[in-house]
Amino acid sequence: MKSVMRCNVRRSMCRALGLVLCVSVWLSVGTSSAEEWELDADRIYDVGIQIFEEYAPAEWRGQVELPGPDEWRTFWREMERALQSYELIDLAWIRPEAETALSFLQVLPVTEPYASWLLQRMDYLDMAHQVLRSHMDKPDPIRPPPPPREERSLKPPAPRSPVRVSAEENRHMQSAARSEVNWNRKLAGRAAPARAAALVPGLKAIFDDEGVPPELIWLAEVESSFNPSARSPVGATGLFQFMPATAERFGMNVAPQDDRLDPHKSARAAAQYLRFLHGRFESWPLALAAYNAGEGRVGRLLRTHDGVSFEDIVAYLPSETQMYVPKVMATVALREGIDPATLPPPVRRLALRGE
């Protein structure tokens, strides 16, 4: 009986790993349209199997059953939709699937870049779940407890949670989810990513050279878990998670060689972008919000709501951005032992270099 159970667990894990590999290849290819995807689906599927055969333990080979890639496409689409949602419950709703996906993404080197991205976003899902649980005064008000690992599925949940809350309740819970006190408590005692020790001195020197407070290099922990190869399902890459257009705007090539994978080039571009954003919005919280949600969106919200600060527009930002800014600030406070509210504005580059 035990051997049968182990066999079932192994088959389940193989199937999930195969799914992960299939989608990671699809993400790496980066198809640009539905038509292109249809043309490449069979090739991507075959490459996913080849990668699995290369990395999977020998005793698992031949047991994996790869489903179609549409399941993974739907999962990542729902994950991104939840992060961009204005309702906190959407993040809590997808949390069990994201937790399961992360446990498999962390198994193989080929999927580690996606695990590094998802690991940091799990904090938003966890915070949403914590706030909702407290608000509803129930152990798990949204989803039943996850099944044993061997029975879990990576299929996405229904598009929306059947449990809804009023707009007033949502605002109240979002306020708790972005609380500085809650984020400081959540991150307290968390060890820095293993890669940070080797990278931090060089990254700080680059930020300092660009006139940006070097303490802000901890943005890389929030963006990528300090993994220079980290990738998001929408195409952001590297320590500081640059999209292709923004990378090129700040002097990085994305082809034939992707400069975003170079920690030092990525750090210089990030420092320049942060300096630009602070120059435009004259506030580090607003600059960070723009880094995450887009400078155009932040600018429009400030004009629409006659705002001058992050607090003036925070309620109108996506749930991820609402929590992203306090998470960055709490991370800086934890790693540097400072009050991030005291971070100085950038130093003008010409004055800094005496030119």
Give the catalytic positions in this structure: 223
What is the DSSP secondary structure assignment for residue 237, as one 8-state letter? B
- How far is Cα 269 from Cα 251, in angstroms, rounded to an integer? 7
- Residues 321, 177: contact at Cβ < 8 Å? no
Rounded alpha-carbon distances, angstroms, from residue 129 to 123, 135, 146, 183, 204: 10, 10, 14, 14, 34
Packing angle, helices 167-177 and 319-336, rounded to 10: 20
Partners of 242 in the β-ladder: 237
**What length does the chain have?**
355
- How far is Cα 86 from Cα 138, in angstroms, rounded to an integer? 23
| Residue that the structure tokens 């129930």 belong to | 138
Those residues whose C-beta lies under 8 Å from the C-beta of residue 310, and which sit 6 or more positions away, are 283, 285, 286, 289, 325
Rounded alpha-carbon distances, angstroms, from residue 134 to 23, 92, 96, 143: 35, 13, 18, 15
- How far is Cα 313 from Cα 256, in angstroms, rounded to an integer? 40
- Residues 288, 280: contact at Cβ < 8 Å? no
Partners of 237 in the β-ladder: 231, 242
Partners of 231 in the β-ladder: 237
Indicate the residue type of 211.
G
- How far is Cα 192 from Cα 114, in angstroms, rounded to an integer? 19
| Residue that the structure tokens 């333990």 belong to | 57
